[in-house]
Every structure is written in structure tokens, then in C-alpha cells.
Amino acid sequence: MRKGILEELNKSSVTVTDIANQSWCEYKVFLSCTQKEGQTKAMRIGEAIHMNLQKEVYKELTVEPVNYPDVFYKNAYENILTMKSVVENGKGRELKIEGDIDGFTIRGKIDELLVENGETVIVENKTTNRENGTHMDSLREMHSVQAMVYRMLFKDILEKRYTFKRYYDTNGVSRMKLSPQFIQGLKEIGIKDDMINIGAICLSMFEGYQQLPKISDTLMIRYLDRGSREVIEEVRIKYDAQWLKKILDKDFLFWNKKKSPEPVTKEDSWKCKSCYFLKINKCQFGASYFK
Ligand code: SF4
């Protein structure tokens, strides 16, 4: 795995959210990696809406994990259940995904997979205010980057550019050991002995990706009203590899330490007004716009 700035930021991977957020303010991504961002009311509401959506279709492994390998197993197991739900019911939520961009490990969680016209559509659910129309273009760019990166990582798995072996080695699966309590719990719910093994469950997850209906070039961004929780709009976009490549080439200059993180321009300084880091006096750039 390429290290770049990750070591300095004490991170093991770049998240898809980091990449999407670079389209909003790269300097904010840098600050969020070095100091914890306080949760706003809007963030708390957004999280609660996501949790409710997840509960509608998500099936959890009921055995409680004790150590990190148990959690890793649980994630792979739940991914298998999510993919099964997509195949059987045409819908699944919260699929964790991993891949590689420019030698960096990338991790993320796809909000929803929906089968439409025989194809699997990646859906991102975003909460906003109904009256928040003014800055929609900036939000859409960020959300489009996020959905397109998921689509790219997904395709990399399906076309075996990101393989099971790579996943196995990157995560050090051979060194992982399930806790005795977790193993006992898996036995009690009837998991077969040959599947009580992290390598076996991860392999089964990789086989599951290949069972999904063809991945669609259309991506959906669904906007939900933060107050009423109703769907405001479902925006469909086409995957655009060239557009995404241009953005990623620029974004990864930062992760490769080839440039400093960029703050927003004066023109976009409206973004600073709601920024946590301006409120706590941690951003000299934002502060300079409001002198
Ligand atoms: S205050 Fe503005 S420039 Fe600074 S991190 Fe926040 S959004 Fe970016």
C-alpha cells in the first residue's frame, strides 16, 4: 500500500467520503483527518435517517464480535447477506467496499444497491433541506464523485483488477484469529464449520459480487428532506470515466504529497459559513475571507 500522506495523518486508507469531500474543500478534509470534527445537528439527523433506511432491509449477524478479526468476519458476512438481498429482493443497503486507486487502499460503504431493468444501480442517499436549492451544483458534484468512485471500485472487483488475493493480503487475513466466544456464537446460530473461517467468508463474499446483476452505468443520487424525511428528488447520472479520472488525478496529488491541501476559493467562501473549523478558529483561510 502506498503511504503518501497517510502516515502523517495516522490513517490506514483513504475513504470514498474523503475523496468526495475534496470536491467541497480539500483543506477541510485535511483538517478532519488531524482533528475530530464536531457533529452538527444536520449531521445527527442525517445519520439517524441513514440508520432507519438501513434497518428497513439490512440483516445483521447477531453474534457479538469480541476482537477486530470478529468485526472483519461480521462485515464480510453481512456483505454476503446484503448481496443475497439484492439478488432475491432487488434491493440491499450498506455494502462495504474496498479497492485501490493509485496504489492507495480505498474503503467505503455504498448506501444502496437497487435492481432496475435487470441491472444493479448504485444509489447514494443524501439528506438536505427542501429550501437548500442555491448551492445544489456544488453538492451534486461532490455526490456524483462519491457515486462514481463506488461504481469504479465495484467494476474493478467484477473485472478482477481488485482481487480476493489482493484483499486478503492488504488486510492481513492470514494473521487474523477469531475469538473463541465468537466461534461458539457462530456455531450456535448454525454456521457450518468450514465457513467459520475468515478466509472462507471473504472468498464467499468475492464470489457474491459476481452473482449480482450487471452493474449499471446509471447512478442514482436520492435527496431526502431532513425535516419530513420524504424523497425530494432522485437524480440519475451517467458514469463518466474521463470526468472522474480528471478529478482523481488532481485529488491524488494531495494524497501523494505532491501539493498542499487547497482551501476553497474566495468565490466559494460561502461554504466556510457553515464550516466547523471556522467556528473553532482552526482555519486561517476561512477566517481571512471574513475579516
Ligand atoms: S473554513 Fe472554508 S476554507 Fe477553511 S476548511 Fe472550512 S470550508 Fe475549507
**Closest C-alpha to 29, from 287, 291, 273, 283:** 283
Contact 148, 173 (CB under 8 A): no
How many Å lie between the centroid of ligand 1 and the Cα of residue 231?
29
Question: Mean pLDDT lowest for which of 57-71, 80-94, 165-179, 202-216?
Answer: 57-71
Report whether pLDDT(133) > 70: no
- Whether 127 shows a pLDDT value over 60: the answer reads yes
CB of 278 sitting under 6 A from ligand 1: yes
Phi and psi, residue 228, nearest 5° = -85, -20
Angle of helix 68-89 versus helix 198-211 axis, rounded to 10: 20
DSSP states along 228-262: T--EEEEEEEE--HHHHHHHHHHHHHHHTTSSPPP
How many whole angstroms separate alpha carbon 76 and alpha carbon 203? 9
Find cell 445537528 and name the residue: 41
| pLDDT greater than 80 at residue 84 | yes
Distance (angstroms) between ligand 1 centre and the Cα of 112 equals 30
pLDDT at residue 274, rounded to an integer: 86
For residue 42, pLDDT over 80 is answered with no
The pLDDT of residue 229 is: 80
CA distances from 282 to 116, 190, 257 (A): 45, 52, 21
Mean pLDDT of 191-213: 96
- Domain range summary for the chain, segments of one domain joined by +: 40-243
Res. 104: pLDDT tops 90: yes
pLDDT at 139 over 80: yes
- Mean pLDDT of the 224-238 span: 87
> How many Å separate Cα 234 from the centre of its chain?
19
Q: Is the C-beta atom of 126 inside 6 A of ligand 1? A: no
* CB 22 near ligand 1, within 6 Å: no
pLDDT exceeds cutoff 60 at 200 = yes
Distance separating alpha carbons of residues 273 and 57, to the nearest angstrom: 37
Cβ of 277 closer than 6 Å to ligand 1, yes or no, is: yes
Ligand 1 contact via 286 beta carbon (within 6 Å): yes
Higher pLDDT, 134 or 251: 251
What pTM was estimated for this model as a whole? 0.90
| Separation of CA 83 and ligand 1 centre (Å) | 38
Q: Is the pLDDT of residue 4 over 80?
A: no
Q: How far apart are the CA of 271 and the centre of ligand 1, in A?
A: 7
Among candidate residues 122, 96, 98, 126, the one with its CA nearest the CA of residue 109: 96
What are the start-end ranges of the E strands in 79-182?
91-101, 104-116, 119-128
Summarize pLDDT for 110-126 with one digit per residue, the tens: 999 999 999 999 999 98
**Which tens digits make up the pLDDT trace of 270-290?**
999 989 999 999 999 999 988
- Give backbone dihedrals phi and psi of 15, rounded to 5 degrees, phi first: -95, 160
Ligand 1 pocket residue status of 275, Cβ below 6 Å: yes
Task: Take atom 2 of ligand 1 and give the residue whose Cα is closest.
Answer: 272
- How would residue 212 be classed by pLDDT, with cut points 50, 70 and 90? very high
Strand partners, 219: 122, 237
Burial of 145 (0-12, 13-18, 19+ CB in 10 A): buried
When pLDDT is cut at 50, 70 and 90, the band that residue 232 belongs to is confident
How far away, in angstroms, is 37 Cα from ligand 1 center?
12
Sign of the CA dihedral running 122, 125, 14, 149:
positive
- Give the Cα separation of 276 and 35 in Å (integer): 11
Dig out the grid coordinates for 259 from the structure.
Answer: 501539493
CB of 148 closer than 6 A to ligand 1? no
> What is the number of other CB atoms lying within 10 angstroms of the CB of residue 280?
12
pLDDT beyond 90 at 102: yes
What pLDDT digit, counting tens, does each position of 9-31 carry? 889 999 999 999 999 999 999 99
pLDDT of 254 higher than 90: yes
Q: Is the distance from CB of 33 to CB of 145 less than 8 angstroms?
A: no
- d(CA 249, CA 256) in angstroms, rounded, equals 10
Given a cut of 70, whether residue 60 has pLDDT beyond it is yes
Provide the pLDDT confidence category of residue 58 given band limits of 50, 70 and 90.
Answer: low
Kindly state the average pLDDT of the residues 231-243.
94
Mutate to test the pocket of ligand 1, among 22, 23, 26, 27 (most ligand atoms within 8 A of CB): 27
Ligand 1 midpoint to CA 137 (Å): 18
Average pLDDT over the chain, rounded to an integer: 90
Structural Rg of the chain based on CA atoms: 20
Distance 25 CA to ligand 1 centre (A): 6
pLDDT band at 130 (very low <50, low <70, confident <90, very high): low
Distance CA 252, CA 107 (A): 15
Dump pLDDT digits (tens) for 147-193. 999 999 999 999 999 999 999 999 999 999 999 999 999 999 999 99
Dist. CA 81 → ligand 1 center (Å): 40
Residue located nearest, by CA, to atom 7 of ligand 1: 272
Residue of 34, 37, 264, 269 to mutate, ligand 1, most atoms within 8 A of C-beta: 264
How far, in Å, is the centroid of ligand 1 from the Cα of 261? Answer: 11
Residue 182 grid cell: 465468537
